[in-house]
Amino acid sequence: MKIATTIDGRLLVSVDGRVAGDATAALGLTGERDPLVTLLDRGDGGAPLAALDLAALPRVDLADVALAAPLRPRTVVGAPVNYRDHQVEMHEQLTVAQLGVFLKARSSVIGPGGTVELPYTDMRTDHEGELTVVLGRPARHLSPEQAMDAVLGYTCGLDITVRSTEDRSTRKSFATFTPLGPWVVTADEVGDPGALDLRLWVGDELRQHASTADLILGVAELVSYASHVMALEPGDVILTGTPAGVGPIHDGDRVAVEISRVGRLEVEVSAAHAIDYDHRPGVWHRGLTGTTTTNGPTP
Ligand code: MN
């Protein structure tokens, strides 16, 4: 099953191609801003979704609705350096095994068709296409063998990243820096998350192409590890890391990430609000600048 959310709080489930069923009323939802998390918080792992009578749902043509991010996670977890080829391109000595996981601000999440806003005119900002895990149940102290029971499904994600020297939680948390969507595809429909083809384009140029078979920590290990650190909640997401081919995005670019059996997410890029790095508010006001930094590798 594919699950999407509209900007006016309706929960849609796939029926056939471009046609979806509006499951909002059937699930007892009433236009909440985040209907999927509301549903998952009832504590049954989204089981009512599987019990829906799809034929009885009001039909919606997807061309007629605006989709939001499929959900608004309370915690957004990222995995640094989780593909060997990305480790090589970044000249990074460490991997996720030594670096652990990081957090992105939940306010960085945007939906399909949204616009990534570049913060700086003169500091490189990169695309990172990533398979993104969506949890359906609380996850704490799970073994890899237990971890998949907590996974609701998967969506396409972008971990947009400024290549400055600042902490990851700064460089990756700018508003609009975590596009997700367009759907959450349930785990039963995706099958083995370690056998998916991931591609990312900027315009017509293919920049990233990899298999999730090359993840250093696969989905089960990554969920297990993150649950050893954090008490994860239903609807939380884990971006699993990006393969080689990361590169800069610019004003006017269109970025698309496509993952087999999961979907295709497209966003636009704007520099309309970009400022000079040296004029970062607060830092600049103290007479401090960032000109000694480089655009060197900081994965
Ligand atoms: Mn990343």
CA of 272 to the centre of ligand 1 (A): 24
Task: State the DSSP H helix or E strand holding residue 36, giving kind and residue range, or none if neither.
Answer: helix 35-40
Which pLDDT score is estimated for 296? 54
CA 25 to centroid of ligand 1, rounded, Å = 36
| Mean pLDDT computed over 51-64 | 94
286 vs 159, higher pLDDT: 159
Domains of the chain: 2-64 (no CATH), 76-275 (3.90.850.10)
Between strands 205-211 and 59-61, the pairing is unpaired
Q: What is the bridge-based pairing of β-strands 19-22 and 59-61?
A: antiparallel
pLDDT band, very low/low/confident/very high, at 298 (cuts 50, 70, 90): low
Closest to 177 measured CA to CA, from 89, 267, 246? 267
Helices then strands (H, E): number in the chain? 8, 19
Q: How many Å lie between the centroid of ligand 1 and the Cα of residue 128?
A: 5
CA 290–ligand 1 middle distance (angstroms): 23
Q: Give the separation between CA 166 and CA 178, rounded to whole angstroms.
A: 18
Residue 294 has pLDDT above 70, yes or no: no
- Under a CB-based contact definition with an 8 Å cutoff, are residues 190 and 153 in contact? yes
Residue 276 CA: distances (Å) to CA of 131, 164, 273: 32, 13, 10
Q: Does position 16 have pLDDT exceeding 90, yes or no?
A: no
CA of 77 to the centre of ligand 1 (A): 10
| Cα-based distances in Å from 237 to 33, 106, 226 | 18, 10, 11
| Per-position b or e across 181-192, b if 16+ CB within 10 A of its CB | bbbbbbbeebee
CA of 66 to the centre of ligand 1 (A): 27
Ligand 1 centroid vs 280 CA: distance in angstroms?
A: 23
End-to-end CA distance of the chain: 34
Is the pLDDT reported for residue 163 higher than 80? yes
pLDDT confidence tier of residue 287, bands split at 50, 70 and 90: confident
Q: Which of 181, 193, 191, 178 is nearest to 258 (CA)?
A: 181
Residue 250 has pLDDT above 60, yes or no: yes
Q: How far is the CA of 239 from the centre of ligand 1 (A)?
A: 7
Residue list, CB under 5 A from ion ligand 1: 128, 159, 242
CB 11 within 8 A of CB 27: yes
Report the pLDDT averaged over residues 142-159: 98
CB 249 within 8 A of CB 119: no
Q: Could you tell me the distance, in angstroms and rounded to a whole number, from the CA of residue 79 to the centre of ligand 1?
A: 6
For residue 174, pLDDT beyond 70 = yes
Phi then psi for residue 219, to 5 deg, are -60, -45
Ligand 1 center–CA 207 separation, angstroms: 15
Q: Grade residue 290 by pLDDT with cuts at 50, 70 and 90.
A: low
Beta strands 161-162 and 125-127 are antiparallel
Q: How far is the CA of 161 from the centre of ligand 1 (A)?
A: 7
Q: What is the mean pLDDT of the chain?
A: 95
Looking at the predicted structure, is the pLDDT value of residue 289 above 80? no
Residue 155 has which token pair? 């969506």
